[in-house]
A and B are shown apart, each in its own frame.
Chain A
Amino acid sequence: MAKKSASSESAADAAINRSLTPDDKIKLYREMVRIRRFEQVSLQHYQAGRMGGFLHLYIGQESVATGVVSLMGENDHIITAYRDHGHALAVGMTMNECMAELFGKGTGCSRGKGGSMHYFAPDKNYWGGHGIVAGQTPLGLGLAYGLKYRGLKGAALAFLGDGAVNQGAYHESLNIAELFDLPVIYVIENNGYSMGTSQARSSAFGNSLAERAAGYGIAWDTFSGEDIYEVRAHTHAAIERAHTECRPTVLEVKTYRWEGHSVADANKLKYRTKEEVELHQREHDPIQRWKRVLLDEGVCDEAELKKIDKAAQQEAEESAEFAKASAYPAPETIFEDVYWEVDQMTTAGLTGRHFFND
Chain B
Amino acid sequence: MPRRITYRDALREAMDEELARDPMVVIMGEEVAQYNGAYKVTQGLWDKWGDKRIVDTPISEAGFIGMGIGASMLGVRPVMELMFWSFYTVAWDQIVNNAAMVRYMSGGKINCPIVIRGPANGGTSVGATHSHTPENIMASFPGMKCVVPATAYDAKGLLKAAIRDNDPVMFMESTKLYGEEWDVPANDELPGGELVIPLGVADIKRSGTDISLIAHGRAVITCLQAAEILEAEHGISAEVVDVRSIRPLDEETILDSVSRTHRAIYVEEGRPFCGVGAQIAYTIQSKLFDELDAPVLRVTSLDAPAIYSPPLEALQLPTPELVIEKALSIC
Closest Cβ of chain B: how far from A171's Cβ, in Å?
A: 10
CB pair A104–B87 under 8 Å, yes or no, is no
Q: Is A248 an interface residue (CB 8 A)?
A: no
The verdict on A334 contacting B316 (CB below 8 Å), with A271-B34, A271-B35 known, is: yes
List the B residue with the shortest CB-CB distance to A50: B310
Given A104-B309, A197-B35, A271-B34: A202 in contact with B127 (beta carbons within 8 A):
no
A104 touching B125 in the complex, CB below 8 Å, given contacts A110-B308, A334-B302: yes
Q: Of the candidates A52, A270, A271, which one forms a contact with B310 in the assembled complex, judged by CB atoms under 8 Å apart? A: A52
Any chain B CB within 8 A of the CB of A134? Answer: yes
**Chain B residues whose C-beta falls within 8 Å of the C-beta of A358 in the assembled complex:** 297-298
Tally of chain B residues near chain A (CB < 8 A) = 42
Give the residue of B34, B58, B273, B312 whose beta carbon is less than 8 angstroms from that of A166: B58
Q: B34, A167: Cβ atoms under 8 Å?
A: no
A52/B60 contact (C-beta < 8 A), A338-B305, A356-B273 known: no
Given contacts A52-B124, A356-B272, contact A338 B58 (CB under 8 A): no
What are the residues of chain A within 8 A of B87 when measuring CB–CB? 132
Cβ of B192 within 8 Å of any chain A Cβ, yes or no, is: no
Instruction: Using CB atoms, name the residue of chain A closest to B93.
Output: A168
The answer to whether A195 and B126 touch across the interface, beta carbons within 8 angstroms, is no
Closest to A357 in B: B303
Nearest-neighbour CB distance to chain A for B76, whole angstroms, equals 22
Contact: B312 with A131, CB < 8 Å? no
* A203 interface hit (Cβ, 8 Å): yes
Q: Which residues of A contact B310 (CB under 8 A)?
A: 51-52, 104
A91: shortest Cβ distance to chain B, in Å?
Answer: 20
User: In this assembly, does A251 line the interface, its C-beta being within 8 Å of a C-beta of chain B?
Assistant: no
B313 is an interface residue with CB less than 8 A from chain A: yes
Which residues of B, 58-97, contact A by the 8 Å Cβ criterion? 58-63, 86-87, 89-90
| Cβ-neighbour of B126 out of A54, A113, A271 (below 8 A) | A54
Q: Which residues of chain B come closer than 8 Å to A54, judged between CB atoms?
A: 126
Q: Quick one: CB contact mask for A176-212 with B, threshold 8 Å, 1 for yes?
A: 0000000000000000001111000111000000000
Q: Give the complex CA separation of A333 and B58 in angstroms.
A: 38
Whether the Cβ atoms of B38 and A195 lie closer than 8 Å is yes
- Cβ–Cβ contact B308 & A53, under 8 A: yes
Indicate if A217 sits at the interface (CB-CB under 8 A).
Answer: no
Q: Would you call B242 an interface residue if the criterion is a C-beta within 8 Å of the partner chain's C-beta atoms? A: no
Residues of A within 8 A of B297 (CB): 358
The reply on B307 being an interface residue by CB < 8 A is yes
Interchain CB contact under 8 A, A164 and B308: no
Q: Indicate if the CB atoms of A132 and B89 lie closer than 8 Å.
A: yes
Are B59 and A53 in contact (CB-based, < 8 A)?
A: no
Does B315 count as interface, using CB distance less than 8 angstroms?
Answer: yes
Contact B125 A117 (CB under 8 A): no
Report how far A128 CA is from B310 CA in the complex, Å: 21
Interface string of B45-57 (1 = CB under 8 A from A): 0000000000010
- For the complex formed, measure the closest distance between the CB of A294 and the CB atoms of chain B, giving whole angstroms: 38
For the complex formed, measure the closest distance between the CB of B133 and the CB atoms of chain A, giving whole angstroms.
15
* Whole-angstrom CA separation of A133 from B82 in the bound complex: 13
Could you show 6 A-B contacts with beta carbons less than 8 Å apart? A53-B308, A112-B308, A131-B126, A163-B58, A168-B62, A201-B34
